[in-house]
Chain A
Amino acid sequence: MNILVCLKQILDPEIPARDFRIDAAKRLAEQGSANLVTNIFCENALETALQFRERIGGAKITVLSYGQPSAEDSLRKALAMKADQAALVTNDGNNNPDSLTNARVLAAAIRKLGTFDLVMTGREAGDWGAGQTGALIAEELGLPCVSFVDTIESVNGKLRLKRQTDTGWEVLEAVPPVVVTITNDEHNVPRIPKVRDVMMSYRQPLTKWTLEDLGIDVSEARAGNTYYEVAELFIPQKETACEFVTGDTLDEKVEAFARRIVEVTGAM
């Protein structure tokens, strides 16, 4: 079984709102003192792949990223988590390419890397949250796609994919090759690699390509905006003045809190 997992490096999405700034002209967030991290859903995808490999007793896992040179760190961390090999396509163009550009570049790199039974992405990235890359990779590769998967098993040559829905969950059977997008669940919380393994990972080979290596329309990929473009970016002001309930004792405060609840919910 050959598995490919796409990883995106993003600005740490957990920085508090008060430290978040944007560059309105570039229509991008400013990095400031925030770290760059691997998108959590991509790590959930890698964790799901690692567990699947353990369950079926062997598979080759390749990790792939399209991004700035710093995205190498995300790939090294993935190697430390015990992915087998890694490839980076360096983006020297639009730093926030549209979803179709990302999918085209990744699909071209996937074709160059070989044939895969399972191509995995996160359901969306924690920065722009477009939620399209996996689905568009499927289209580029002519494969079916299943979204919001949290568990993968293998039964009689078919894949059994458990996925989350609005109202519960579903199980799908899929004949590989297939693209799946992964969502979080209590079972695929990413493992933390050992510090030693992270250090060792920097000695492992890592394939590096430029857009020119992929045989795609490079100028279109660099522009990265023929599918959509960010026309405006701003930080909405939406703070509310919170009324902290008052009282001499907790009992009085809770009483006041209860009254406020009854006010907004009306007669119950």
Chain B
Amino acid sequence: MNDVLICLFSSAGFDKAAQGLAGAGRRLADELGGQLRAVILGSEAESLALEIARVSDAVTVADQAELAEYQPETCLNALVELCGEALEARAVLLANDTYSQEIAPRLAYRLGGSAVGDGVEVSARGEHLRVSRQVYGGKAQAVIELKRRPAVVWLRARSFAPPAHRETPGAITRAALDIKPDERTRIVERKRETGGEARLEEARVIVSGGRGIGGPEPFETELKPLAELLGAQMAASRAACDAGWVPPTWQIGQTGKKVTPDLYLAIAITGASQHMAGISEAKTIAAINTDPDAPIFKHSRFGIVADYRQVVPLLREKLAALQK
């Protein structure tokens, strides 16, 4: 069987990640000459199922009460059953959200397959699937060949183009599942960080600050008003997050968010490879830094060598004037 299966969680809806995942799945299925099937886990999955059906051959919805909200062990068990019994897929693709990353390797293990993550390209090479990904903190790129079937791959989903609609939508069915809730672990509290950074991945403009900002206050008093002027989301380097100046959800990079804005404005950020790994798909990077040799300038379209404390207030003035 050359089918490709994509796994989605209903909670995020048909966002850029779901679209990219569907696009990647569609193209891989076409390359392999198989079908594209989708599994959707979670409650209120109808609208997502309809969208996915328009680009795939079949959609299975698992919205049972036990799966309404993500629980690691129970969702993994359900996915194993859905992927294992429903078909013998060649590949199972997921996005790179927290939950997908958490269970993908275990899903591969239970299906007897091989997993790899953070893929930016997937293709078939003879019997095997090959996945391109960044390694060594973004300093190098590797092509990983997966030896077992199915290949379970979590992708930088937002970097993939969405698929075209098909003439006849795929059928939507509800999964018949015998769910055994696994109580060994249980999510008992869920907290969304306030401040809109949930949309960081969808942002067109991002204003990001690093250790050189020097403390939490300037994020509030200097960067925030600038971000508001630009209609931008705010973000940070790991150094600024680790210092506790801003929440960890703001972190951009290899182990933070991977973003795709039109403009990424890096303020007092060196541009370590691990940070750059999160913005390799940004259309334009611009930087403000006191150090003319900072690596960030090697990736920037334009830049200014100066103290941000002098630049940012002036910049707000100039932007406000230009916007009039």
Q: Which residues of A contact B (CB under 8 A)?
A: 11, 13-14, 16-17, 20, 22, 27, 29, 41, 98-100, 123-124, 126-132, 135-136, 138-139, 144-148, 150, 161, 164-175, 178, 183-186, 189, 225-236, 238-240, 242-245, 250-251, 253-255, 257-262, 264-266, 268
Contact = CB atoms under 8 A, between A and B. Distances in A.
Contacts of A126: 137, 274
A242 B304 CA distance: 10
A29 B137 contact: no
B298 interface: yes
A20 B140 contact: yes
B53 interface: no
Contact of B117 (A131, A145, A168, A178): A131
Contacts of A164: 98, 248-249
A262 B255 contact: no
B106 A173 contact: no
A214 B110 CA distance: 23
Given A129-B137, A138-B106, A255-B318, A261 B286 contact: yes
B141 A234 contact: yes
A113 B200 CA distance: 44
Contacts of B257: 166
A123 B248 CA distance: 15
B109, B243, B299: residue with the most chain A Cβ atoms closer than 10 Å? B109
Contacts of A131: 101, 105, 117-118
A138 B76 CA distance: 13
Nearest to B300: A242
B184 A250 contact: no
B303 interface: yes
A166 B16 CA distance: 14
B299 A170 contact: no
A167 B255 contact: no
A100 B262 CA distance: 38
B284 interface: yes
Chain B CB within 10 A, most for which of A13, A17, A146: A17
Nearest to A187: B244
A144 B184 contact: yes
B196 to A, nearest CB: 11
Interface string B121-151: 0000100001000111101111111111000
A147 B101 contact: yes
Contacts of A232: 142-143
Contacts of A139: 105-106, 109-110
B301 A242 contact: yes
B141 A235 contact: yes
Contacts of B248: 150, 164, 169, 183-185
B187 A170 contact: yes
Interface stretch (B43-51, B54-62, B161-169, B306-314): B306-314
Nearest to A247: B304
A233 B142 CA distance: 4
A107 to B, nearest CB: 11
B105 A132 contact: yes
A257 B299 contact: no
A131 to B, nearest CB: 6
Contacts of A41: 255
Nearest to A226: B147
Contact of B144 (A230, A251, A253): A230
A234 B141 CA distance: 5
